[in-house]
Amino acid sequence: MRLLRRYLLFCLIAAGCVVAAVRGTEAEPSRGGGPALGSILEAEAAARLLAILLDAGRGVINENQDLFDDPARSDKGFSPGVFEEQLDRAFHSRVGLLLHELDSSRLPARTKQLLRALVEASKQVVAEAQPDLNRAGVGYKGFIPAVFGTRVAGRFQEKTGVRLKQTALVPRNPANAPDVFEQAALGEFAQASYPREKVITEIVAGTEALRLMYPLYTTRRCLDCHGQPKGELDRTGHPKEGLRLGDNAGAISVVIPIQP
């Protein structure tokens, strides 16, 4: 276990992917004063992977918008199984892990369980969307990345107790408005000099949960609804934000219990 914890710490530091604001924790196993460092590192690594996996799923949904909104097709062929295959490829391209080979990975057992649970929650959301996606004669279906992410996050939290939230400084959905910690992190992410994909984490003294913020950036598909010109109505009827390719587009916020 010590070797695994050192391995996780090495990966996080070597990748330059962590900015920590940790309070109320100790460098050695705790003696009643807070979670042990090893437990914190495992929770942090798991939270980062969960954020990336949710975002990878959002990306898959984004890449299939033209298919979903084709009024000439009824059966879109976008089954939960097809989604899972695309998700596996997208996740692998970002972290080098294949979801269908988790059993042979060096990840902690709890991390594997959480990743599997998030995949299953995502597939269930896709399954529930089938009647809408396969309606013929209808263009825009409304099954966009933000809707997918919200539904998946809710189902996932019910199963695991881990909270995932899409947030931004000026979110379209008021339910995604940032709290104080999230707003501070989003302010950092909005700086042009901030390193891409570097997360911000925090453990508030007296709690047994870790908070992590994973920054998001616009892709070409994102700009269809969030790009230029600012103020123009997108296909959802919402004014575009005027973002450009690569701009920060908010974050995924994770709250995960720390297990000893």
User: For the segment 86-131, what is each residue's pLDDT rounded down to a tens digit?
Assistant: 999 999 999 999 999 999 999 999 999 999 999 999 999 999 999 9
Specify the amino acid at residue 13: I
User: For the segment 152-171, what is each residue's pLDDT rounded down to a tens digit?
Assistant: 999 999 999 999 999 999 98
Calculate the dihedral angle through the C-alpha atoms of 224, 73, 82, 91, rounding to the nearest 10 degrees: 0
Q: How far apart are CA 20 and CA 25, in angstroms?
A: 12
Which pLDDT value is given to residue 11? 46
Residue 255 pairs with which residues in a beta bridge? 163, 211
User: For the segment 172-217, what is each residue's pLDDT rounded down to a tens digit?
Assistant: 899 999 999 999 999 999 999 999 889 999 996 677 899 999 999 9
Dig out the tokens for 210 from the structure: 């870790």
62 to each of 132, 141, 240, how far by Cα in Å?
A: 16, 12, 16
What backbone phi and psi angles, to 5 degrees, belong to 249? -125, 35
Which pLDDT value is given to residue 204? 67
DSSP secondary-structure letter at 27?
S
- Using pLDDT thresholds of 50, 70 and 90, give the confidence band for residue 33: low
The string over 143-172, giving b where at least 16 C-beta atoms fall within 10 Å of a residue's C-beta and e elsewhere, is: bbbbbbbbbbbebbeeebebbbbbbbeebe
Residue % of the chain over a pLDDT of 90: 67
Alpha-helix residue ranges (DSSP H) falling in the chain = 2-14, 37-63, 65-68, 80-95, 109-128, 130-133, 145-160, 180-189, 223-226
Say if residue 16's pLDDT is above 60.
no
Dig out the tokens for 67 from the structure: 């298919």
- Using pLDDT thresholds of 50, 70 and 90, give the confidence band for residue 32: low
Cβ within 8 Å of residue 107, ≥6 positions away: 49, 97, 115
